[in-house]
């Protein structure tokens, strides 16, 4: 499934966690990878592992919210690897676990800069090439909580909700160029970010709310992402896929 031979994929935030998993699985299916992360050592490690699989890797350390830097990174990556066929807007930061009183203006702004501004302008940077080639795949990473809400994460969830709005609008805007745009809304995933905020005690407690009884491994988020980047999903656009173990079942 999901032959990506000859494709170039840019995955923001691919130094660790889900982004790293997306990068390695896509490389395993034949794609060359634009590795992006503000974490230099982590980005370099992902790139090293991509190359060890026999694929090419270009590395960018740009802050996803720095529009000029991301635009330049895309330009340099296209010059080295060729046109970017796939974009996964994965870069993100953790949400607050407080009520409204715990959010200051700087935190609020950073949340939107990374998730919404970053997603918007990374997409803007790759779209001209996709339009020229008449093909492209964009997958935006939102969150299960964007569909359900959460009592202690309104800023994070509002930013992730905005990504769903971009997904649906872009699916319509880009369809004439055969560019599909979809979103993945992960539920609980065992990532370094989650462990740093709450540890395994938090994961074990939160897993009790999941019908399948556990948090996901990062690869279980990558498989739907890779599917949405593959030719098998060519007739799917504007859709939201929620791998969450049954914790959120959203009706039509």
From the list 112, 156, 202, 223, the catalytic residue is: 156
Query: What is the model's pTM?
Result: 0.93
| Main-chain dihedrals φ then ψ at residue 79, nearest 5 degrees | -65, -35
Check pLDDT > 70 for residue 203.
Answer: yes
Check pLDDT > 60 for residue 1.
Answer: no
- Sequence-ordered list of residues with C-beta below 8 angstroms from that of 21, at least 6 positions apart, any chain: 218, 219, 221, 222
Count of alpha carbons within 13 angstroms of residue 139, beta-carbon side: 30
pLDDT score for 96: 87
Active site residue 223: no
| Main-chain dihedrals φ then ψ at residue 11, nearest 5 degrees | -120, 110
- What is the per-residue pLDDT across 68-98, written as a single tens digit (0 to 9) for each? 999 999 999 999 999 999 999 999 998 888 8
d(CA 105, CA 242): 30
d(CA 142, CA 182): 10
CATH architecture for the domain at 8-187+218-241? 3-Layer(aba) Sandwich (3.40)
Q: What is the mean pLDDT of the chain?
A: 93
- What is the per-residue pLDDT across 153-191, written as a single tens digit (0 to 9) for each? 999 999 999 999 999 999 999 999 999 999 999 887 777
Cα 28 to its chain centre, rounded Å, is 18
């Amino acid at each position: 499934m999901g032959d990506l031979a000859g494709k170039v994929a840019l995955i923001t935030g691919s130094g660790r966690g889900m982004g790293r998993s997306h990068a390695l699985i896509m490389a395993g299916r034949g794609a060359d990878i634009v590795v992006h992360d503000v974490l230099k050592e982590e980005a370099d490690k992902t790139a090293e592992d991509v190359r060890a699989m026999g694929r090419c890797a270009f590395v960018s350390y740009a802050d996803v919210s720095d529009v000029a830097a991301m635009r330049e990174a895309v330009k340099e990556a296209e010059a080295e690897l060729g046109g970017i066929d796939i974009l996964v807007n994965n870069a993100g930061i953790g949400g607050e676990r407080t009520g409204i009183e715990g959010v200051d203006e700087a935190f609020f702004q950073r949340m939107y800069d990374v998730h919404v501004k970053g997603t918007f302008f990374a997409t803007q940077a790759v779209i001209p090439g996709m339009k020229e080639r008449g093909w492209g795949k964009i997958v935006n990473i939102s969150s299960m909580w964007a569909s359900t809400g959460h009592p202690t994460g309104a800023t994070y969830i509002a930013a992730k909700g905005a990504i769903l709005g971009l997904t649906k609008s872009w699916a319509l805007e880009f369809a004439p160029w055969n560019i599909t745009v979809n979103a993945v809304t992960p539920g609980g995933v065992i990532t370094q970010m989650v462990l740093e905020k709450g540890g395994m005690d938090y994961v074990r407690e939160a897993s009790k709310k999941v019908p399948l009884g556990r948090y996901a491994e990062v690869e279980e988020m990558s498989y739907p992402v890779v599917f949405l980047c593959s030719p098998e999903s060519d007739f799917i656009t504007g859709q939201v896929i929620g791998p969450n173990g049954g914790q959120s079942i959203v009706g039509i």
